[in-house]
Chains A and B, each alone.
Chain A
Amino acid sequence: MVALESTDTQAGVAGMTIDVQAVSHSFDLHGAPLPVLDGVELRVEPGELVALLGPSGCGKSTLLRLVAGLEPPSRGSILADGRPIDGPDPSRVVVFQDPTLYPWRTVRDNVALGLEARGLLRSQGHRIDKALALVGLTGFERAYPHQLSGGMAQRAALARALVNDPRLLILDEPLGKLDSLTRLAMQSELVDLWRSSGFTGLLVTHDIEEALFMATRVIVFSGRPARIKADLPIDRPYPRHRGDPVLTELRHRILELLGLAETW
């Protein structure tokens, strides 16, 4: 696989600072408010890769949507580099839980989406092939999404995000649909990519090993409405080893926090 070089201007994009300040959010469900986030306080420094863990349906994806600027929070505010987020911006790119490729576009045209939307197809078009190579989809440029497997679609969605050279990469279970082998390989790829290009990362995952292998910090949420239960720095050098006893110890703690200690 090939490394995706960042923009010509500097070696490595400056990562973005994200400041989530006392954010609460609720949805309207059958006329009654459904509180989903409850006073979330979180500061992510440039270049950090923060993993978010929590029970299903607690509000992790919701938090990511707010950070992406797709919805405003009900209460509190979110700052990107000190400025309030008032809408989506291509510097903050999301890989959604569901790949949602456009069925009428080929894989290549799907990956080209961001460049096309910003009128950069001419000048930056060469990045598309690199992004496709990075996720191992070379040779499938002209395939349509219905001709891909679930894992390939997810990788195409990843390439569609990476090609934009984001300063904040928001990943919502990006490897959830991959088989375990590809998944391990992609984890290493993502870590290499993150280390070489320096973006800030927010990663939601259900896989504790994945969080410990990749992240600089793990945030553990409570059940809905989500509150931050623990904020654990993972102070281990890269490249990490999955058998690292420190990580094993942390894994035990996280399972405890999630109320699953007895399964250990």
Chain B
Amino acid sequence: MSVNDTAAALPAANGGALPIGGGLPSNLLLRFSAAALLWFAASGVTALWPDAADAQEWERTGEFASLLVVAAGLLVLAALLAAAIRPAPRSRLEAAIASLSASVPWLIALALGVTGWEILTAKLNLLPRPFFVPPQALLEVYLDDWPRLLDCFAASLRLLITGYAVGSILGVVTGVAIGWSRAVGYWVHPVLRLIGPLPATAWLPIAFFAFPTSWSASVFLIALASGVPVTVLTWSGVAGVNSAYYDIARTLGASPRFLVLKVAVPAAMPHVFVGLFMGLGASFAVLVVAEMLGVKSGVGWYLQWAQGWAAYGNMYAALLVMALLCSGLVTLLFRVRDRLLAWQKGMLKW
């Protein structure tokens, strides 16, 4: 099967509509079939088109083609489910198929992208090597080097979570203290003014020298990077609390402790979360730098190591892992926020 076949299949997808029951779009079967067809095509291109003669023969080409067939098969399954079983409206299956069908344009674009990538690299060898590798090279890394990648992933996650947790907790506590106590504000505010804008990575040489291990130094740097925005935003949140909230609690017999924990902190929470998001972003940057320069493990170290060996497949594989790690944590934080700040209306969706 060639690329032309897949291109020809596209208009058909938008053509005749097939009525299907339930709340699902009526041309669902066609949309899923078109996507499935393109994934089959991608697999065919990978498996049947021989690799360029003037370059190396890539490993794991067969496995990659099988993976693409599996993806295509799943789409066929989804199409059949949508058409034949006619899931009851509002069933979980219907919801799953509906959300999958919303991603059909993406699934089509991905199939085309993978096919194009495959052709440009392995099949025609048009892109400069060794900087560009075909997708099966990434698969090869995941299949052969997964223990090390998994180790690095776990190490990065542990370092990041530790530093971020320390930074966020200290940040919230400091922010509340500055917002609440004039004395604390007097002493901490100027320090924060001076130190805050400095990128945490500027402390790197001192940190690696001053801390007993590079790991603890990295925790410090990540905590610093995430702690500063959390502190500043928590503080501004606490400072901006409507004073009527305090009046009400005070006339009802609230202690200062209650005013802080049950009035100031929840009222400042929307601000705190802005700080937490900013801090998370900053901590990613510091994590990668710290791992590249000091810590002998983690995805950042793996990136550096792969580059040193000109193992670009490994590098792309690690980059993808890093992207999944960061985006996963950001998504998690959004979930937490949506749950804790459900009382806010008109929330942003990501």
Contact = CB atoms under 8 A, between A and B. Distances in A.
Interface of A: 65, 68-70, 87-90, 92-94, 96, 98, 100, 102-105, 113-114, 116-118, 144, 146, 160, 164
Given A70-B247, A98-B244, 20 more contacts: A68-B251, A69-B251, A70-B251, A89-B251, A90-B253, A92-B251, A94-B247, A100-B244, A100-B245, A100-B248, A102-B263, A104-B266, A105-B266, A117-B249, A117-B253, A117-B262, A118-B252, A118-B253, A146-B345, A160-B248
A90 B251 contact: yes
Given A96-B244, A96-B248, A144-B343, A102 B253 contact: no
A113 B250 contact: no
Nearest to B259: A117
A149 to B, nearest CB: 15
B254 interface: yes
Chain B contact surface mostly: helix
A88 B258 CA distance: 15
B282 to A, nearest CB: 27
Interface string B225-263: 000000000000000001011011111111100100011
7 contacts: A69-B251, A70-B247, A93-B251, A105-B266, A117-B254, A146-B343, A160-B248
Given A89-B253, A144-B343, A146-B345, A113 B248 contact: yes
B267 to A, nearest CB: 7
Interface of B: 242, 244-245, 247-255, 258, 262-263, 266-267, 269, 341, 343-345
Chain A contact surface mostly: loop
A117 to B, nearest CB: 4
A100 B242 CA distance: 9
Contacts of A117: 249, 252-255, 258, 262
Nearest to B266: A104
A84 B343 CA distance: 40
A241 B132 CA distance: 91
B241 to A, nearest CB: 11
Nearest to B265: A104
Given A102-B266, A102-B267, A104-B266, A94 B245 contact: no
Nearest to B341: A104
B151 to A, nearest CB: 42
B343 A103 contact: yes
B68 to A, nearest CB: 48
Contacts of A92: 251
A24 to B, nearest CB: 22
Given A104-B266, A104-B267, A104-B343, A96 B254 contact: no
Can you list the 6 inter-chain pairs with the closest CB atoms, starting with the nearest? A90-B253, A114-B252, A117-B254, A88-B250, A88-B251, A100-B244
A123 to B, nearest CB: 15
Nearest to A97: B244
A88 B254 CA distance: 9
Which of A96, A98, A104 counts the most chain B CB atoms within 10 A?
A104
Contacts of B247: 65, 70, 88, 94, 96
A117 B266 CA distance: 15
A238 to B, nearest CB: 28
Contacts of A89: 251, 253
Nearest to B252: A114
A46 to B, nearest CB: 20
B271 to A, nearest CB: 13
A98 B248 CA distance: 11
Nearest to B269: A104
A16 B242 CA distance: 30
Nearest to A101: B248
Contacts of A144: 343
